[in-house]
Amino acid sequence: MSAVAARVPVLEARGLVKHYGVVTALDGADFDLYPGEILALIGDNGAGKSTLIKALSGAIVPDRGEIFLNGTPVHFRNPLEARRNGIETVYQDLALAPALDIAENLFLGRELRRRDIIGIVLRVTDRPRMLREARAHIADLKINVGSMKQSVETLSGGQRQGVAVARAAAFASRVVIMDEPTAALGVRESGMVLDLIREVRARGTPVVLISHNMPQVFEIADRLHVMRLGRRVATITPASHSMTEAVALMTGAASSQGPTKG
Amino acid sequence: MGSSGLRRTIEGIGGRPRWRLSAGAFSAVAVLVTAGCGSSATPAASASPKPVIIGLITKTDANPFFVKMRQGAEREALLKGAVLMTGAGKDSSDAAGEVTALENMVSAGAKAILITPDSAGVTAAVKKARSQGVLVIALDSPTDPVDAADALFATDNKKAGQLIGQYAKAAEAGKTGIKIALFDEAPGSTVGKLRHDGFLLGYGIADGDPQIVCVANGGGNQTDSQTQMENCLTKDPGINVVYTINEPSAFGVYKALQNRGKQNGVLIVSVDGGCTGVGGVKDGRIAATSQQYPLNMAKLGVDAGVDFALNGKRVSGYTDTGVTLISDKPVSGVDSKDTTFGLANCWG
Amino acid sequence: MLARLRWTEFGRDPGAAIARARLISTLGPLIALLLASIFFSIRTDRFLTTENLSLITQQVAVVGVLAIGQTLIILTAGVDLSCGAVMAFGTIVMTKLAVTHGVNPFLAIALGIGVCLGFGVLNGLLVTVLRLPPFIVTLGTLNIAFALTHITSNEETIANLPDPVVFFGNTFRFAGTTITYGSVLAVALTLITWFVLTKTVGGRHVYATGNNPDAARLAGVRTRRVLLAVYATAGLLYGIAALVLVGRTGVGDPQAGQSANLDSITAVVVGGTSLFGGRGSVLGTLVGTLIVGIFRNGLQLLGVAAIYQFLITGVLVILAVAVDQLSRRRQA
């Protein structure tokens, strides 16, 4: 605990507030993510998990509160700014453009351009280089899909998630955020995606994971951030709490402040 | 929208009560605003005796023929001290738009309504308006059935077609190898069928005659007619007589012929007698055209409406507003006037 | 290594089916074009002549240029009903300025095209800033452009145009037939658009925005900027179509282009571009334009009454959309 607390969080938030009309989605939420860890974000439906990661990834701008990246205050106005700061997000359903191929999806929004005059003036893409690098990224995470020219709609659900994770991992210099990456998958494909998440951590990038699947969360996470009614109510570890205790915290049946509350 | 022309007329009249002048200007503006479908009324500002309201519903606002008709009605309404409401369908087959305008005018208290009916789709509304004591006069084309309206003021479209049919027959008399193309407006057009049938009657042939080598729908506009004539010429390059529903269609046909260098050997006849069209007769692109008189239709209609409102006199039956064959190359046996006459009496 | 083996098990079957469906929607239009040509060639010996083929290229040039703009918009899952009316207004502006107001013809052309560009920008702003549905926005601008056309033209056809304004109606001899510069321009614009759409960053963003706007936005594509650029470019193309039209007819005709919006949508759909956005090709649109043009021409040569030409066009459209839908359903 003291070892963790001594380190500076990679990503940190204090007192985030977000209202949607009369609904309060975030009500003074705090957040800490430390280097090299997998942090699971758990909470009941409507607890504010999605809103919190949207704020962290620049998809929404919080009404109040502060976000720090390596201790420095940041203000993301859109996802692009978060990405430029090394924070990559894998969204639950919105990750990919199905009609585009794997390489195009990997480089969507940051296409590689030819380095010659037509690349600079006409913004012509460098297709061979994108295919080459896409192949390298995909192989890096041990994902096996046929051709980089295959459109994403021809892939299975697991393979699509693989592409989405590969995209995040390839460009994330600081943080990868994943929203329910296994929600739509079967048991075997879920297992593959969990392997993928460990692979990302092994490469040194901390991961924030939203999940409803308690066994999965307890299998993979280093720490669990429990949310309720728009706030962080506890931070626990799979060792410190049982699944039943975690669920009690989520639902408000228990109000214990976790031992690693930071 | 001819508002400047209208104002000139107003100044020419001189000494008229002020409200009419403002009503006229308002009318022009109101028509601009509501171009499309629906109706517009000239506000009857400070009129001492309650002015007579006359409605005019044209098939569309996007056709010079109807624009001229409306302008003629506006002028006549000013002269007679009546208020003219105008409305139009969205296009030549928008009966629903016409019905809406008609109903609105009845609600607004119109005593007489002049309408250029699109189709039988307006018949029920016309009958209903009459049952509410409104005089309804069909202009330009008949209601279906013709007695659904009180009266019809129109060109005899069959006669218009017949005149150019007779002309074409006489002009080509003695020649062999006649190949005819017929340029109709669009499927289902009442006026189009009358002119088409009239032409065939005047020429002395029937549909399906081997001399007819191409029948096309030029939509009554230049662009489509040009395309269709190109295709007709591919089908049979020997076409030498072309009947066209109106003058824009004739110009499209001419352009297609010109592109092929064939404009000189082909006789084009048409209907309408608009100023641009008569210009086409004068410069030789069109051999002859049957001129009709939309201003006259409008004038007679407004007069009859005012007469009904003030004196309770109801017109009935068919009034032929006249049709004249215009050509600079008269043929024997068919009466025609030259383009000098045509230009003096043209409508737009 | 185990993971490696497992990944390969997935995605084979849907892949093959979708690849097949995609092939149909890509090659389908081309096959239809060939079949139609063969049919008409057998039925009439006047169809397959250099002169008639030259005519067809002239006849489809205007809708061909409009359909390029329409393709861009449909690729973003939008639709543009205003294209024909905007083009008609462009023709009136350029001819009226050049003839009635004696403006330098080149300036008149530039202003006419500029007005169309302005309409494109207006459509784009309404779609992106006010976030109104494209169907409604362009229905509105259709009526506005239509009204302006008839107000400014005073319902009169404008003739006696200066040479530069009708340049694209001029012809040159090529391979024993005559080709208009307008047809060449339509093909050139198609190829340029194809290059931009397939090879450049902006072009790929058009596809991504149409295919999955949320994913594109979250991936950092400035989707609103992409949409605005698409509508503006389409407006520019309508202006160029106006110039081609004026060249073809030799007049400024306020009645022109009234069915051009539906004609261009037909060409795009028959050419295999999906109305749901993100799928399709501007080369397909060129083929679609030719199919529609060939049917009109061929049926006229056969003496088929106009009303049946409508009927056959209707069948074509439904067939094209059905193929698109089927290919999407197989993937699900």
Domain with residue C263: its CATH number is 1.10.3470
CA-CA distance, A202 to B202, in Å (whole number)? 94
Residues in CB range of C34: below 8 A, 6 or more apart: none
Is C166 part of any domain? yes
**Gap between the Cα atoms of B58 and B213, Å rounded:** 34
Question: What's the CA gap between C185 and C207, in Å, rounded?
Answer: 24
Domains of chain B: 3-155+293-315 (3.40.50.2300), 157-292+325-344 (3.40.50.2300)
- Cα nearest neighbour of B91 on chain C: C258
Flag the least confident range among A7-16, A151-160, C280-289.
A151-160
**Residue B222 is nearest to which of C151, C154, C157, comparing CB atoms?**
C157
Q: Establish if C44 belongs to a structural domain.
A: yes
In a domain, C19, yes or no: no
* Pairing relationship of beta strands A207-210 and A72-74 according to DSSP bridges: unpaired
A262 has pLDDT over 90: no
Judge contact between C82 and C142, C-beta under 8 A. yes
* Cα(C287)–Cα(C285) distance, integer angstroms: 5
Q: Which two tokens stand for residue B244?
A: 């066209």
* Phi/psi-derived region of residue B114, left when phi > 0, alpha when psi is between -120 and 50, beta in every other case: beta
Q: Which residues form the domain of C292?
A: 26-326
Cβ burial of A85 (10 Å; 0-12, 13-18, 19+) is middle
Q: Is the pLDDT of residue A5 over 70?
A: no
Digit-coded pLDDT (tens) for C22-62:
666 678 888 889 999 999 999 988 899 888 888 899 999 99
Which of A260, A198, A202, A252 lies closest to A7 in space, CA to CA? A260
Cross-chain Cβ contact C249/B223 below 8 Å: yes
Angle at which helices B157-171 and B190-203 cross, to 10°: 30
B236 to chain C, minimum CA–CA distance in Å? 9
Rounded average pLDDT over A1-9:
61
Of C22, C211, C331, which has the smallest distance from its Cβ to A97's Cβ? Answer: C211
pLDDT in tens, C141-173: 999 999 999 899 887 888 889 999 999 999 898
Amino acid at B265: G
pLDDT at B98: 87
State how far the Cα of B25 lies from the Cα of B143, in Å rounded to an integer.
Answer: 32
pLDDT digits (tens, 9 = 90+) for A36-61: 999 999 998 889 998 999 999 998 99
Residue C161 · residue C37 · CB < 8 Å? no
CA gap B102, B330 in Å, rounded:
43
CB of A158 less than 8 A from some CB of C: yes
Examine chains B and A and say if they touch (3+ CB pairs below 8 A).
Answer: no
How many Å separate Cα B38 from the centre of its chain?
20
Per-residue pLDDT of chain B (348 residues; tens, 9 = 90+): 333 333 333 333 333 333 333 333 344 434 433 433 444 444 444 444 678 999 999 988 777 788 888 888 999 999 999 999 988 877 766 778 888 889 888 888 899 999 998 777 888 899 999 999 999 999 988 888 889 999 999 999 999 999 999 999 999 988 999 999 999 988 777 788 999 999 999 999 999 999 999 999 998 889 999 999 999 999 999 999 999 999 999 999 999 999 999 999 899 999 999 999 999 999 999 999 999 998 889 999 999 999 999 999 999 999 999 999 999 999 998 999 999 999 998 876
Burial of B176 (0-12, 13-18, 19+ CB in 10 A): exposed
Residues of chain B contacting residue C250, judged by C-beta atoms under 8 Å apart: 255
Closest to B307 (Cα-Cα) out of B112, B15, B136: B112
The dihedrals phi and psi of B215, each to the nearest 5 degrees, come to: -120, 125
- Any CB–CB contact under 8 A between C253 and chain B? yes
Nearest Cα residue in chain C from A122: C200
Where does A57-204 have alpha helices with state H? 79-84, 102-106, 117-121, 127-140, 157-171, 187-202
Q: Which residues pair with A151 in a beta bridge?
A: A101
Q: Supply the pLDDT for residue A258.
A: 44
Search chain B and give the residue with CA nearest C257: B223
- Tell me the C-alpha distance between A61 and A84, whole Å: 16
Residue partners of A16: CB distance under 8 A and separation at least 6 = A26, A28, A29, A30, A31, A52, A55, A62, A64, A65, A66, A67
| Residue C199 in this model has a pLDDT that exceeds 70 | yes
Closest by CA position to B93, among listed B141, B40, B30: B141
Q: Hey, of C2, C4, C10, which one would you mutate to test binding to chain A, going by the most A CBs within 10 A of its CB?
A: C10
Using alpha carbons, select from C81, C133, C128, C114 the residue that is nearest to residue C227: C128
- Give one DSSP letter per residue of B274-338, joined into a string: -HHHHHHHHTTSSSEEEEE-HHHHHHHHHHHHHHHHHH-PPP-EEEE--EEEE-SS--TTS--B-
Q: Which residues pair with A178 in a beta bridge?
A: A90, A209
pLDDT of residue C198: 94
Looking at residue A256, its pLDDT comes to 54
**Which position has the token pair 């009635």?**
C100
Residue C175 banded pLDDT, cuts 50, 70, 90: confident
Question: Of A91, B153, A28, nearest to C215 (Cα)?
Answer: A91
Are 3 or more Cβ–Cβ pairs between A and C shorter than 8 Å?
yes
pLDDT band at C312 (very low <50, low <70, confident <90, very high): confident
pLDDT digit string (tens) for A111-137? 999 999 988 889 999 999 999 999 998
Give the pLDDT of residue B327. Answer: 96
Burial of A84 (0-12, 13-18, 19+ CB in 10 A): middle
Which helix (H) or strand (E) is B270 found in, with range? Answer: strand B267-272
C279/A80 CB distance under 8 A: no
Which one has a higher pLDDT value, B23 or C140? C140
What's the whole-number average pLDDT of chain A? Answer: 88
Predicted local confidence at residue B174, as pLDDT: 87
Chain C: closest CA distance from residue B332 (Å): 33
Chain A contact for C20, CB < 8 A?
A: no
Q: Which residue reads 């032409």 in tokens?
A: B199
- Distance, in Å, from the CA atom of A19 to the CA atom of A17, rounded to the nearest integer, reads 7
Q: What is the total count of domains within chain C?
A: 1
Per-residue confidence (pLDDT) for residue B18, from 0 to 100: 30
- Per the rule left: phi > 0, alpha: psi between -120 and 50, beta: everything else, C239 is alpha
- Tokens read off for B57: 């519903």
Give the residue, C322 or C4, on which the prediction is more confident: C322
**Nearest beta carbon to residue C18 from set A80, A153, A192:** A153
Selecting from C22, C200, C279 the residue whose C-beta is nearest the C-beta of A124 gives C200
With bands split at pLDDT 50, 70 and 90, how would you rate the model's confidence at C302? Answer: confident
Secondary structure class of A156 (helix, strand, coil)? coil
Whether C51 is covered by a domain: the verdict is yes
Q: Which two tokens stand for residue A69?
A: 């990246």
H or E, element range at C23: helix C12-43
Half-sphere exposure of A4 (CA within 13 A, CB side): 16
Would you state the pLDDT for residue A218? 93
CATH number of A2-251: 3.40.50.300
Residue whose structure tokens are 């084979």: C12
Alpha-carbon gap: B221 to the closest alpha carbon of chain C (Å): 6
Domain membership of residue C21 (yes or no) is: no
Residue spans per domain, chain A: 2-251
Q: Which chains touch C (3 or more CB pairs under 8 A)?
A: A, B
Q: Do A122 and C3 touch (CB under 8 A)?
A: no
Averaged pLDDT for residues A165-169: 88
pLDDT of residue C331: 53
d(CA A77, CA A99): 28
A200-219: average pLDDT: 91
Binding-face residues of C in 33-52 toward B, CB within 8 A: 44, 46, 49, 51-52
Query: Cis (ω within 30 of 0) for the bond into B145?
Result: yes
Residue of C nearest to A128 (CA): C199
Residue C157 has a pLDDT of 84
